[in-house]
Structure 1
Amino acid sequence: MPNNVKGAGTGPTIKQLAQTLGMAHSTVSRALNDHPAISDATKERIRRAAAEFGYVPNTAARMLRTSQSGIVGLVVPDIVNPFFSRVAKSISSLAMEHRWQVVLSDTAGDPERERLAVESLLRTRAEGVIISVTEDPLPETIEMLGRLRVVQFLRSHPSIRAPVVKIGDFEAVATATAHLQSLGHTNIGFIGSPASLSTGFERRSGFLSRFPSRPPEEDLVVCGPVTPEFGTEAFLRMISRDDPPTAIVLGSASYSQGVAVAANRARIQIPEDLSIVGFGDTYLNEVLLGGLTTMVLPLQEIADTCVETLRLSFAQSERAAEAGDGLAIIQSLPARLLLRSTTRKLDV
């Protein structure tokens, strides 16, 4: 390694790296910032040299020069929820490929915590945010999000003008319900999230769409907090009816464990006494209740689409961004039914 590449106890500067490579300072700088005017071969040569000589970008200087921080926020309502934790991991991995630094915030579904998270991102000069909004975002939060490049995922809010990457919630729950109906079930319950959430509304609507002539009785459609504890409570409430359901559709992965606990507590045999279709898949679902039949969500595709949508937003001209051109798009990704062992044909 040439002695002039490193300074005393520090990594090389771009100027030193350029001198070593025999290139212009501007060429090296553009290559390291992935400028389209630099060929891929040249970028690769310069990146290899930078890695070999221990070059580390000066993020603070970059922010002062370009107002670009490389910081991207990822705001979720519940990192313990297996959907959000797995998507967050995938988004973080993909962000590294773009040299973005991801700042993760868990709002716990609290609008005030959400406001503080977004405010913190603005203070750190974040370039954008991928967010799954709370049930009722504060007006201040909505205003601050208007100053960032935003991608909404899973959940969305009509006051936030930004792209949405979502699951086909309506279709997914309709498919789950149709599967149970094909097995002869007519007395079917649904446990879902509040209709005030975009996801809760769509999933509940998908369930009800399968009963066009005679909707289920009100106590068979139970909506509440997205927690295992609510899953337990709702399940026990349903099976205590005089005419308990023969099958139940779950509207969130968070309910699966709670329902398994409740079934064990009530000594309900699955699927002999009751058929269940879950929503979302985790490693635990392979053994939960003997193997949970569920709607599998396209987690990696969701992460890929969120990151690519944000990247395209960065690539837009400032004029297009200010005008809001092409930003309010909705991308809906389909779920698929995975048959395991928690559903069976109804005995007649």
Structure 2
Amino acid sequence: MANSGSQITILDVARVAGVSRQTVTRALNGLPDISAATRERVIGVARQLNYRPNRAAQGLVRGRDVTIGFVVDDLSNPFYPELASALSRIASEHAWSVILSDLGDDQEKARARLESLTHRVDALVLTGCRTDTVGLLPDDAVRGRALGIPIIMLDGSAADRVDAFVEIDYQAGVRAALDHLTANGRHRIAMIDSSHIASSRRHAYREYLHEHDLPWTEGSEFRDDETHQGGVQAAAELIHGYPDADAVLVYNDVMAIGALKEFARSGVSVPDDIAVIGTDGLALGALVTPELTSLSIDKVELAQYAVELVDNILSGRAPGGTRESRSSGLTLVVRESA
């Protein structure tokens, strides 16, 4: 039995795994020059022994108190670098550091990255809906039971399996966007949505059209990947499938910019023939022609909430046995496209 009655150390992990202290360090910090089998064995032993690095000592060495692991599933989407920038700036005001991890599409590699990250940070902040990042963790690891670290979800799924979460009020945002469109005489409103999730945007869109007796059929909705090319393809389908549409609400700004490209290529004038509203409020939206109208998510507010929730949990100020939550709204930024 390793250090019965006392805190497990890195030397205990090394002894049980049959490797050197340096190998344990390399395995738990995701460093190269060790085999995948050795890394897996070390991580398994660390979990079995419930080993947690001495964060206080590491903080003294780094000159920082806390390290946040910020986990996304697609860093190529400009929304995530904007959010990561805000989180890094706000964390630095607390003398905290941030490690950014892009999980990607490969589930096994994503699981390994996430597993390694949990041994290097004091808290996990997860965002992105395309993959259920919480689902990549073992069932006994959620809500800190095995990890010993808080897990905070920003605008994601599986909120019941995390310690704290931030919800984005898409209902009110979508209503503001559609109010703007109808006030400007647009009544045949299509939607380009994600093909990966049943988005709350879609639910709010359908509800609004029903309440206002606006035309809707399944043919009013077009779904594709949450990418620029996905927006291009969905817009091409919209042009042929709903040629009378005079407006479209789009799942995110990256897809909306792809739609603008396809409309221009097909001779569909924006906003004369069709108005376009995206979601995210990316700075990139002001750099395209026509400039993109968008429901803007306040990335700074999201980052502030994330740091606040981490701080409350680590400091013991969070209510015991309950999940803290925050709610963030969207702001309609009107530009040239609608």
TM-score by length of 2: 0.73
Aligned counterpart, 1:342: 337
1:76 aligns with 2:77: no
Aligned counterpart, 1:269: 269
Q: Which of 177, 184, 207 is matched with 2:205 structurally?
A: 207
The secondary structure found in structure 1 opposite 2:226 is: coil
Question: What is the percent sequence identity of the aligned residues?
Answer: 23
Whole-angstrom distance in 2 between the partners of 1:259 and 1:64: 47
Deviates more, 1:180-189 or 1:105-114: 105-114
Task: Report if aligned partners of 1:95, 1:101 keep a CA contact under 8 Å in 2.
Answer: yes
Aligned counterpart, 2:253: 253
1:325 aligns with 2:326: no
Aligned counterpart, 1:56: none
In structure 2, what residue type is equivalent to 1:175?
A: A
Deviates more, 1:90-99 or 1:213-222: 213-222
Aligned counterpart, 1:305: 305
In structure 1, what residue type is equivalent to 2:335?
A: R
Alignment of 1:1-348 (within 5 A): 62-63=57-58, 70-124=66-120, 126-133=121-128, 134-137=130-133, 138=135, 140-146=137-143, 147=147, 148-194=149-195, 196=197, 200-212=198-210, 213=213, 216-241=216-241, 243-316=243-316, 325-326=321-322, 328-343=323-338
Point out where structure 2 has 5 or more consecutive residues left out of the alignment.
Answer: 1-53
TM-score by length of 1: 0.71
Whole-angstrom distance in 1 between the partners of 2:132 and 2:115: 17
Aligned counterpart, 1:46: none
Shift of 1:116: 2.1
In structure 2, what residue type is equivalent to 1:80?
A: S
How many pairs does the alignment contain? 275
Deviations 1:65-112 (A, max 9, x none): 99x973220001122222211110111122222232311111225543
Deviates more, 1:301-310 or 1:180-189: 180-189
In structure 1, what residue type is equivalent to 2:170?
A: D
Whole-angstrom distance in 2 between the partners of 1:158 and 1:80: 24
Whole-angstrom distance in 1 between the partners of 2:264 and 2:80: 27
Point out where structure 1 has 5 or more consecutive residues left out of the alignment.
Answer: 1-58, 344-348
The secondary structure found in structure 2 opposite 1:290 is: coil
Shift of 1:274: 0.9
Deviations 1:101-149 (A, max 9, x none): 311111225543442232112233x211111154334363454343221
Distance 1:64 1:106, change over 3 A: closer
Deviates more, 1:160-169 or 1:207-216: 207-216
Whole-angstrom distance in 2 between the partners of 1:64 and 1:192: 44
Deviations 1:276-318 (A, max 9, x none): 111122333224232222112111111111111111111117x
The secondary structure found in structure 2 opposite 1:240 is: helix
Kindly name which structure, 1 or 2, has the bigger radius of gyration based on alpha carbons. Answer: 1
Aligned counterpart, 1:35: none
The secondary structure found in structure 1 opposite 2:289 is: helix
Whole-angstrom distance in 2 between the partners of 1:112 and 1:169: 32
Whole-angstrom distance in 1 between the partners of 2:71 and 2:59: 26
Distance 1:166 1:120, change over 3 A: same
Task: Report if aligned partners of 2:125, 2:306 keep a CA contact under 8 Å in 1.
Answer: yes
Aligned counterpart, 2:21: none
Distance 1:223 1:102, change over 3 A: same
The secondary structure found in structure 1 opposite 2:271 is: coil
Distance 1:288 1:129, change over 3 A: same
Deviations 1:169-219 (A, max 9, x none): 2221222122212222221111122463xxx52111111111225661112
In structure 2, what residue type is equivalent to 1:193?
A: S
Distance 1:101 1:135, change over 3 A: same
Shift of 1:64: 10
Task: Report if aligned partners of 2:152, 2:162 keep a CA contact under 8 Å in 1.
Answer: no
Task: Report if aligned partners of 1:118, 1:144 keep a CA contact under 8 Å in 2.
Answer: no
